[in-house]
Structure 1
Amino acid sequence: MTSTTSRIEQRVLLAGLTKTDLTMLLVVLIWGANFSIVKAALTEIPPLAFATLRFAGASVLLLAFTFWREGRRALPPDRATFWKLTWIGFIGNTVYQALFTYSLTLTTAANGSLIIATTPAWVALTAAVLGIERVRRTMAMGIALAIGGVMLVVAERGLSLGGSGLLGDLLMLGAALCWMMYTLGVRTLGQGLSPLAITAWTMVTGVPGMALISIPDWERVAWDSVSFNAWFGLLYATLLALVLAYVLWNNSVRVAGSARTAIYSCAIPLVATLLAWPLIGEQPTWVQGIGGLLIISGVLLTRRS
């Protein structure tokens, strides 16, 4: 067994891939499949109830893991930091997850993954407008390409605002803007907490608000008729897409740096689009392909600047 493992590792190294590369590829695969798996589960479990169960479970597990790994260093250093984490958690988890999950009941997994992938471009644009970062030529080009790609993907729905698909795209765009605010909010926290602790605490503080807004959903869930596939989707979205993927991603950022991991994150919409075909029968379109190419190119340019 040891010799077999050693031979596999040698082949991986000869291919130019490290263990960190393989870890990031695994996370990309988990997150890419998550769009289709969640979308399928939402046909049986209402979106807000699904999001509440998912984040309640993940927040407990992730916070427990964070304390096991960091001890008292995982605690917010003061009350002001805790309240800031609460507001960031409300925007980045309560509102974001409500928009993200409900959006997937209306739009395709491919469109959802492409639109949410524009978040770095919105972060760069907002940071430039607020004077946090200086706008460079490559950044401006990247923002323009990413936004143009989103407009192309959304325009495929047609100009009728009454269409549920278009509404789903717009809700996912709102989710991307929420994650932009979350990202900028995290930057104001300073160096007192690790990225893992910030993720855990913002999950925990986001759960109460999510539980409140999901109350109407609980009244229309027929739990005895929920299939194994839907329960599997909930467990996958909780244990793999949140807990395991976040832990692996944070470790990869610590080892390889944010610039290198950012490149891998651009592959998520591609993986999501390709997996949506065999998993839930969503055949990709040429417009999605062109829009996706614009979005990924724009995000890469934005992150290089």
Structure 2
Amino acid sequence: MSTSAASVPAAPPRAFSASDLAILGVVVVWGTNYTVVKEALGVIPPLAFMSVRFAVASVAMAVLLLAVEGWKPLPWRVLFKLGMLGLVGNTAYQLSFILGLANTTAANSGMLVAVTPVLVAALGAALGVERLNRPLVMGMSLAVMGMLLVVAARGPSLGTDTRLGDGLILVACVCWAIYTVGIRSLGNEVSALRITALTMLAGAPGVVLAGAPAVLALDVGSIGFSARAGVVYSALIPLVLSYFIWGRTVQQVGSARASLYNTGVPIVAALTAWGVRGERPTLLQGLGAALIIGGVVLSRGK
């Protein structure tokens, strides 16, 4: 079976399904992970955290794949495509995102990430792997507006000192869009678990090596239990489990619709920060949350 984008995958059903429920779970996990990571980064440097996290995740992913599906040969063209997706969706994305965050504000990064669903939809349509309809486009527009309101309430900075970080965040958005559409273009000829595992294993070496000097410089004895638990949790749940669910959902409902749900991550992040760190959400964030939910509901129309 060809992996070419010449034939458009069948349009996904619009009724709410188990796939939608699964992607909502991923949104909750990724939204709460911001607080988990922020707590761990108070003890562990960003590159060291990223390196150890990916080392743990890649080993767990390889074990899971071998235990569930075993080793099955794939055509070299498919392996090459998975390898490229791993480099883009893991190595380039993770490095761009973590270094971008280190050089810009959280508000700026949130504002910029809001363009990701649009990038996914535009790229998918351009490559012929996604069908766009009016409800989806209108819902996406509404949800992106809501996402911008949620993060704008934190006060974005437009100074020249954030340009490097802003640029890296945009690079990360493009990388994630390519990864998401790339998964969709594979269709169902490769299982979601195998896609997740092979792309993660392909991208892990670059991420691990980039943070190796920071890992070697760590004073392991000064790292408490909560920080260590944060690394393990962030590796196994937001990476291994959620990446698998994300890949499976993209296969079943399409890259544009799956990406639309991603606009809910800032809502969960804001609510988690409120409950754990006492960062009370504003009225503007509440309005943004309403627009995001409305956009998701609107996208299901006929």
TM over 0.5, yes or no? yes
Post-superposition shift, 1:143? 4.4
Match of 2:60 in 1: 61
Match of 2:12 in 1: none
Q: In structure 2, what residue type is equivalent to 1:51?
A: M
Query: How big is each residue's C-alpha offset from its partner over 1:3-62, in whole Å with a ceiling of 9 and x where there is no partner?
Result: xxxxxxxxxxxxxxx998987665444332111101221122222221121122112212
Match of 1:31 in 2: 30
Query: How big is each residue's C-alpha offset from its partner over 1:157-215, in whole Å with a ceiling of 9 and x where there is no partner?
Result: 1432325xx87666444323211110122233344310111001110000111123224
SS at 1:72 equivalent: coil
Matched residues in 1 for 2:152 and 2:93: separation?
Answer: 19
Distance 1:135 1:297, change over 3 A: same
Match of 2:235 in 1: 238
**Unmatched runs of 5 consecutive residues or more in structure 1:** 1-17
Match of 1:187 in 2: 184
The match for 1:126 among 105, 112, 123 is 123
Matched residues in 1 for 2:267 and 2:148: separation?
Answer: 18
The match for 2:79 among 79, 82, 89 is 82
Moved more, 35-44 or 195-204: 35-44
Query: How big is each residue's C-alpha offset from its partner over 1:217-267, in whole Å with a ceiling of 9 and x where there is no partner?
Result: 33543322222221111011012222344456677889xx537x9486654
Match of 2:215 in 1: 218
Match of 1:98 in 2: 95
Give 1:247-262 correspondences, 5 Å limit: 258=253, 262=258
User: Would you say the 8 A contact 2:91–2:207 is kept in 1?
Assistant: yes
Aligned positions, number = 281
Matched residues in 1 for 2:178 and 2:19: separation?
Answer: 29
Matched residues in 1 for 2:181 and 2:40: separation?
Answer: 31
Q: In structure 2, what residue type is equivalent to 1:178?
A: C
After superposition, the CA RMSD in angstroms is 3.8
Matched residues in 2 for 1:179 and 1:212: separation?
Answer: 21
Match of 1:47 in 2: 46
Mapped pair 1:161 → 2:131: no
Mapped pair 1:284 → 2:281: yes
SS at 1:214 equivalent: helix
Match of 2:11 in 1: none
Matched residues in 2 for 1:199 and 1:157: separation?
Answer: 34
User: Would you say the 8 A contact 1:47–1:98 is kept in 2?
Assistant: no
Match of 2:171 in 1: 174
Match of 1:227 in 2: 224
Q: In structure 2, what residue type is equivalent to 1:186?
A: I
Q: In structure 1, what residue type is equivalent to 2:222?
A: S
Distance 1:69 1:231, change over 3 A: same
Q: In structure 1, what residue type is equivalent to 2:235?
A: T
Q: In structure 2, what residue type is equivalent to 1:196?
A: L
Matched residues in 2 for 1:144 and 1:266: separation?
Answer: 11
Matched residues in 2 for 1:299 and 1:19: separation?
Answer: 16
Post-superposition shift, 1:69? 1.4
SS at 1:31 equivalent: helix
Q: In structure 2, what residue type is equivalent to 1:64?
A: V
User: Would you say the 8 A contact 2:108–2:156 is kept in 1?
Assistant: no
User: Would you say the 8 A contact 2:143–2:263 is kept in 1?
Assistant: no
User: Would you say the 8 A contact 2:37–2:234 is kept in 1?
Assistant: yes
Distance 1:71 1:159, change over 3 A: closer
User: Would you say the 8 A contact 1:121–1:302 is kept in 2?
Assistant: no
Post-superposition shift, 1:71? 2.3
- For normalisation by structure 2, the TM-score amounts to 0.74
User: Would you say the 8 A contact 1:121–1:298 is kept in 2?
Assistant: no
Matched residues in 1 for 2:31 and 2:182: separation?
Answer: 26
Distance 1:19 1:215, change over 3 A: closer
